């Protein structure tokens, strides 16, 4: 076995659609195990933000791939930095989420971000969340989870986060955005969002965060 394959034994890969709660679950599983946490979507969002700041269209594959390669990003305990700016909030807007979904379809962009994601893995262990953690980035992960929730449940969770009612025009807009992003992420040619054949499926529609975290920890401990 290669060194990387050995290290991958200390990886839990959690993939799933947007707003499925996988980020929260992955971060809490990492904290429970004392492992590091990779939010791979943040790298796609950072690239989308960097492109926007540089006046580069998300549709311009080669220019975006070049920016992805040079991405001046730093992760510290407190913040995510792009150059000297803390961009924790700036990368979380719906607009940047949509642009991230556009740039994520480009293979050269995905390639440029691949090693950066693998570099998060140390002896300490890693919980990684995204769309292709199990299929591409950590194919030898010890545990693979495909975490989903019904689109309306995800829209309701997002609305609650934003302090908006869980019905009405704003809610319908959020639901449409979620469905549009699902569609784009599922149907792209490279590393589309899909459950890895080895992944255990976890539908969190009727589960609390604590129950979801517990389920993943139980699976890990049973291996």
What backbone phi and psi angles, to 5 degrees, belong to 97? Answer: -60, -45
At residue 35, the 3 state secondary structure works out as coil
User: How many amino acids of this chain bind ligand DC (CB under 6 A)?
Assistant: 14
Query: CB of 192: closest distance to ligand DC in angstroms?
Result: 9
For helices 40-53 and 61-70, give the axis angle rounded to 10 degrees.
110
Tokens, residue 174: 């959020």
With vertex at residue 72, the alpha carbon angle to CA 70 and CA 75, rounded to the nearest 5 degrees, is: 130
C-alpha dihedral sign at 153, 154, 160, 165: negative
CA 15 – CA 128 distance, rounded (Å): 8
Query: CB of 22: closest distance to ligand DC in angstroms?
Result: 7
Query: CB of 221: closest distance to ligand DC in angstroms?
Result: 26
Q: With binding defined as CB under 6 A, does residue 158 bind ligand DC?
A: no
Query: CB of 90: closest distance to ligand DC in angstroms?
Result: 13
CB closer to ligand DC, 45 vs 144: 45
Q: With binding defined as CB under 6 A, does residue 100 bind ligand DC?
A: yes
Q: Which of 40, 135, 148, 204 binds ligand DC (CB under 6 A)?
A: 40
167 alpha-carbon distance from chain centroid: 26
Q: Which of 185, 199, 202, 215 binds ligand DC (CB under 6 A)?
A: 185
Q: Which residues contribute to the site for ligand DC (CB under 6 A)? A: 18, 40-41, 44-45, 97, 100-101, 104, 130-132, 181, 185
């Amino acid at each position: 076995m290669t060194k990387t394959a050995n290290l991958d034994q200390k990886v839990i890969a959690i993939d799933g659609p947007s707003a499925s709660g996988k980020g929260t679950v992955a971060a809490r599983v990492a904290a429970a195990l004392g492992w590091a946490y990779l939010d791979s979507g943040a790298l796609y969002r950072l690239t989308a933000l960097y492109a926007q700041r540089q006046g580069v269209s998300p549709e311009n594959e080669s220019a975006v791939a070049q920016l992805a390669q040079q991405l001046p990003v730093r992760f510290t305990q407190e913040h995510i930095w792009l150059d000297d700016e803390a961009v924790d909030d700036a990368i979380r807007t719906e607009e940047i989420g949509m642009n991230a979904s556009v740039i994520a379809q480009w293979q050269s962009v995905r390639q440029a971000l691949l090693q950066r994601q693998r570099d998060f893995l140390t002896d300490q262990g890693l919980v990684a969340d995204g769309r292709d953690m199990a299929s591409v980035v950590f194919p030898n992960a010890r545990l693979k989870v495909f975490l989903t929730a019904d689109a309306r449940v995800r829209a309701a969770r997002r609305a609650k986060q934003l302090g908006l009612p869980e019905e009405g025009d704003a809610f319908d807009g959020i639901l449409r955005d979620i469905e549009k992003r699902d569609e784009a992420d599922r149907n792209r040619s490279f590393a589309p969002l899909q459950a890895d054949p080895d992944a255990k499926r976890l539908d969190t529609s009727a589960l609390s965060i604590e129950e979801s975290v517990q389920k993943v920890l139980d699976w890990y401990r049973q291996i």
